[in-house]
C-alpha cells in the first residue's frame, strides 16, 4: 500500500487500530453505570482509598510504611490491580466511573498491544482481524467493562506487554527490553497466581526453540523477575508462606468452594464447556438469575470456526506444504503452547472454577481464528468472498450478542442484587441520612462506600459476629442512629432457616425491640432484592 501524499506512514500504520479502539470504547462506555456494582469489583478501590485517605489497610494483610503512610502490597484480592487504578482514582475520585473506566482503559491497551504483536509476528491483515474480533468479543468486552474479577484482564495486558518487550528485544537486542519483560512477568505473578501458567508456557517455548541467554543475562533476567514479584514474595515471608500453603493444600484437599483438583477429568470437562460458551458469548454471570437466557441467540458459528482453525494449524505444523507455506511457523507453535498450557492449568484452582477465570485466555482464540482467516484460503475471488462472509458473520453475531446484553440490562438493570437496584438503595440511605446502617450480608460495606463516595459506611455484621457463641454479648456495643438501628440484607437470604434471620432475631432479643421492614427494594423486573430493616419500639 502506498501512503497518501502528505501522510506520515508511521501514523497511517495505526489508523486501523484506532478505528477498532473506537468500536471497543463505544460499546464499553455505553450506559457505563449499568449493571450495578459487585463487591469484588469494588474491593480494590475500597481498600486502596482507605489506605490513601485513612492510612488504613486490611487487618493482618501485608503492607509497608513509607513516611508514615501505609501502602498495601498484598491483600485478599491482591494489590497490583489497585495500583493500575490509582491515576484515575486520584483524578476522578472514588466511584463507579473511575472504577470501570480504569479496566476499560486496560482492555483498550490490550487491543493496541495485540495489534502491534500480530503485525510483527504475522502481518497487518492478521493484526486487523485479530484486534477487531477481540474488540467485539462479548467475553473480552464484558469482563473489561464490568469485571467480576478485574485481575483476569490485568494479567492479559501484563502478559501482552511483556511479549511486546521481548519482541523488541529480539528486534533491537537491547537488554532493557529483556529485563523489562522479566519484571512484568513478576508483576503478573503478583497480580494473581494463575499467571504462573503463562510463565510455564514461556519456559516450554524457550526449551523448544532453544533460546539461550548468557550467564549475565540469566542472572539479570532472574533478578528483574524477582523484583517484579517482590511484593508477593514479601507477603509470603511475612505471613508464613500463606500463598504457598494455600496452593499446596488445594492439591489434595477440596478448596473453600469445594473444587477437587485431583478430579482433573471433571474439571477439564467443566472448563471445556465454559470455554465453548465464552466463544458463543454466553457469559454465565451476566445471565444468572436474569430469566433472559432463553430469549438470547448466541454466536453458534464461533466454536466450529475456532476448532477448524485449530485443525488448520495442526495440519500446517505436521505437513507444512499441505497448506499455504507462508504462515510463520514459530508464532503458530507459540499460540498453541500458550493456549494449551494455560487451559490445562486453569483446571486447577485454589478457589472456584468460575467461568470468568477463562478471561486470561482471551484474545488467543481470536488470534488463532485471524491466522486461519488470513492464511488458509488462496487468493481466488470466490475464496476471498467466502473468507469475508465468514468473518463478517462472526463479527455480526458477536455484535448482536452484545446488543442483546445491553437490551437485557435495560430490562433488569443487571444481575439480581448486583443490578442497578443498589443505586436505589444508596440513594435512599443518603436521602434519609442513614449513615451507619448494619449489614447482614457480605460486600455491602465495600460497594456502598464506593458508590456514595464514603458518605454512607455500613458496618458488616455477618462476617464479624455470626456463628459466635457470645454473639449476644458482642452486639451490645452497637450504637443507634437517632434512636434507631438500621439493617440491610439481601431479601433472598432472609428465609426462616438462614443465619441472617437468626442474626437479627438475636439482635431483637438482646435489645428487646421490634424489627420492622422500612422498605423493600426491587429491581427493574420487580424482583425483591434488598430489605431495609429498622429496630425500634418495644419487643
- 392/446 same-domain check: no
Report the distance separating Cα 190 and Cα 193, nearest Å. Answer: 7
Q: Are 405 and 436 in a shared domain?
A: no
Task: Sort strands 485-490 and 514-522 into parallel, antiparallel or unpaired.
Answer: unpaired
Q: What is the pLDDT of residue 324?
A: 52
Considering 357, 391, 411, which residue would you say is the last residue of a domain? 411
Q: How many domains does the chain have?
A: 2
Rounded CA separation 261/501 (Å): 35
Distance between CA atoms of residues 339 and 148, nearest Å: 22
By the 8 A CB rule, do 401 and 152 touch?
Answer: no
Assess if residue 374 is contained within a domain: yes
Report residue 444 as a C-alpha cell: 455491602
Domain boundary among 411, 440, 462: 411
Residue 477 shares a structural domain with residue 388 = no
pTM: 0.90
- What's the confidence (pLDDT) of residue 60? 52
pLDDT at 6: 46
- Which pLDDT does position 132 carry in this prediction? 98
**C-alpha to C-alpha distance for 138 and 142, rounded to whole angstroms:** 6
Task: Specify the residue for cell string 514479601.
Answer: 234
Q: Does residue 389 sit in the same domain as residue 512?
A: no
What phi, psi does 133 have (nearest 5°)? Answer: -60, -35
Residue-level pLDDT at 4 = 42
pLDDT of residue 69: 65
Same domain, 87 and 113: yes
120 and 257, same domain (yes or no): yes
- Where is the domain boundary, 391, 411, 431? 411
Residue 405 and residue 456 share a domain: no
Please report whether residue 3 resides in a domain.
no
Take residue 257 and report the three cell numbers written for it. Answer: 468452594
In 93-214, alpha helices (H): 96-121, 124-135, 138-145, 151-172, 175-191, 196-208
E-only strand ranges, 45-111: 63-66, 69-72
Helices 264-280 and 329-345 pack at an angle, to 10 degrees, of 120
* Same domain assignment for residues 447 and 336: no
Q: Are residues 429 and 395 in the same domain?
A: no
Task: Find the domain containing 489 and state its range.
Answer: 420-536
501's grid cell:
434471620
What is the C-alpha separation between 344 and 326, in angstroms, rounded? 30
For the chain, 539 residues long, give each residue's pLDDT as a single digit of tens: 334 444 455 678 889 999 999 999 999 999 999 989 988 888 878 877 777 776 555 555 566 676 666 666 655 445 667 777 778 888 888 889 998 998 999 999 999 999 999 999 999 999 999 999 999 999 999 999 887 777 888 999 999 999 999 999 998 889 999 999 999 999 999 888 999 999 999 999 999 999 999 999 999 999 999 999 988 888 888 878 888 898 999 999 999 889 999 999 999 999 999 999 999 999 877 665 555 555 688 999 999 999 999 998 888 888 755 555 567 889 999 999 999 999 999 999 998 999 989 999 999 999 999 998 877 655 667 777 888 898 999 999 999 999 999 988 888 888 778 889 999 999 999 999 999 998 888 789 889 999 999 999 998 876 555 555 566 666 766 665 556 789 898 876 655 556 666 776 777 777 777 778 899 999 888 888 899 988 876 55
1 found inside a domain? no
Q: Do 371 and 273 fall into the same domain?
A: yes
Whole-Å CA distances, 373 to 20, 145, 385, 388: 18, 28, 11, 8
Assess contact for 450 and 94: CB atoms under 8 A: yes
Q: Is residue 4 part of a domain?
A: no
CA atoms within 13 A on the CB side of 12: 9
**Cell match 437468626: residue?**
502
CA distance 132 to 367: 10
Is 490 found in the same domain as 344? no
**278-319 residue pLDDT tens:** 999 998 776 655 555 556 889 999 999 999 999 988 888 887
Q: Are 366 and 133 in contact (CB under 8 A)?
A: yes
CA distances from 147 to 75, 285, 326 (A): 18, 10, 39
For residue 5, what pLDDT is reported? 46
Amino acid at each position: 500500500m502506498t501512503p497518501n501524499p502528505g501522510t506520515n506512514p508511521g501514523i497511517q500504520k495505526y489508523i486501523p487500530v484506532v478505528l477498532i479502539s473506537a468500536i471497543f470504547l463505544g460499546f464499553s462506555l455505553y450506559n457505563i453505570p449499568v449493571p450495578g456494582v459487585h463487591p469484588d469489583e469494588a474491593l480494590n478501590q475500597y481498600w486502596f482509598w482507605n489506605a490513601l485517605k485513612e492510612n488504613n489497610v486490611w487487618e493482618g494483610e501485608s503492607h509497608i510504611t513509607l513516611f508514615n503512610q501505609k501502602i498495601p502490597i498484598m491483600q485478599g484480592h491482591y494489590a497490583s490491580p489497585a495500583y493500575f487504578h490509582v491515576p484515575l482514582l486520584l483524578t476522578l475520585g472514588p466511584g463507579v466511573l473511575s472504577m470501570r473506566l480504569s479496566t476499560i482503559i486496560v482492555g483498550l491497551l490490550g487491543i493496541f498491544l495485540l495489534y502491534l504483536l500480530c503485525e510483527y509476528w504475522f502481518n497487518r491483515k492478521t493484526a486487523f482481524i485479530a484486534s477487531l474480533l477481540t474488540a467485539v468479543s462479548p467475553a473480552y468486552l464484558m469482563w473489561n467493562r464490568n469485571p467480576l474479577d478485574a485481575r483476569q484482564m490485568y494479567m492479559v495486558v501484563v502478559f501482552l506487554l511483556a511479549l511486546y518487550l521481548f519482541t523488541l528485544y529480539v528486534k533491537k537486542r537491547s537488554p532493557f527490553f529483556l529485563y523489562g519483560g522479566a519484571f512484568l512477568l513478576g508483576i503478573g505473578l503478583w497480580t494473581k497466581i494463575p499467571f504462573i501458567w503463562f510463565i510455564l508456557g514461556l519456559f516450554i517455548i524457550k526449551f523448544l526453540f532453544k533460546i539461550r541467554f548468557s550467564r549475565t543475562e540469566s542472572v539479570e533476567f532472574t533478578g528483574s523477575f524477582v523484583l517484579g514479584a517482590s511484593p508477593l514474595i514479601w507477603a509470603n515471608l511475612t505471613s508464613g508462606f500463606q500463598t504457598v500453603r494455600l496452593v499446596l493444600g488445594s492439591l489434595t484437599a477440596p478448596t473453600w468452594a469445594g473444587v477437587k483438583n485431583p478430579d482433573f477429568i471433571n474439571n477439564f470437562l467443566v472448563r471445556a464447556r465454559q470455554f465453548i460458551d465464552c466463544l458463543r458469548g454466553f457469559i454465565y454471570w451476566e445471565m444468572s438469575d436474569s430469566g433472559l437466557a432463553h430469549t438470547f441467540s448466541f454466536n453458534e458459528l464461533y466454536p466450529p470456526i475456532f476448532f477448524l482453525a485449530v485443525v488448520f494449524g495442526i495440519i500446517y505444523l505436521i505437513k507444512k506444504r499441505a497448506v499455504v507455506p507462508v504462515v510463520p511457523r514459530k508464532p503458530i507453535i507459540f499460540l498453541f503452547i500458550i493456549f494449551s498450557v494455560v487451559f490445562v492449568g486453569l483446571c486447577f484452582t485454589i478457589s472456584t472454577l468460575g467461568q470468568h477465570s477463562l478471561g486470561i485466555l482471551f484474545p488467543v482464540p481470536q488470534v488463532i481464528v485471524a491466522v486461519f482467516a488470513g492464511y488458509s484460503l488462496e487468493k481466488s475471488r470466490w475464496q476471498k468472498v467466502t473468507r469475508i462472509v465468514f468473518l463478517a458473520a462472526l463479527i455480526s453475531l458477536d455484535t448482536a450478542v452484545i446488543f442483546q446484553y445491553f437490551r437485557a440490562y435495560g430490562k433488569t438493570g443487571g444481575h439480581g442484587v448486583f443490578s442497578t437496584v443498589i443505586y436505589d438503595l444508596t440513594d435512599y440511605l443518603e436521602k434519609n441520612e442513614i449513615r451507619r446502617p448494619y449489614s447482614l450480608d457480605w460486600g455491602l460495606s465495600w460497594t456502598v462506600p464506593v458508590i456514595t463516595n464514603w458518605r454512607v459506611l455500613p458496618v458488616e455484621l455477618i462476617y464479624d459476629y455470626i456463628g459466635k457463641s457470645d454473639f449476644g454479648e458482642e452486639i451490645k456495643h452497637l450504637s443507634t442512629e437517632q434512636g434507631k438501628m438500621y439493617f440491610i440484607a439481601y431479601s433472598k437470604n432472609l428465609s426462616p432457616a438462614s443465619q441472617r434471620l437468626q442474626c437479627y432475631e438475636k439482635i431483637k432479643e438482646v435489645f428487646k425491640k421490634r424489627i420492622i421492614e422500612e422498605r423493600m427494594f426491587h429491581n427493574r423486573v420487580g424482583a425483591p432484592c434488598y430489605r431495609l430493616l429498622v429496630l425500634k419500639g418495644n419487643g
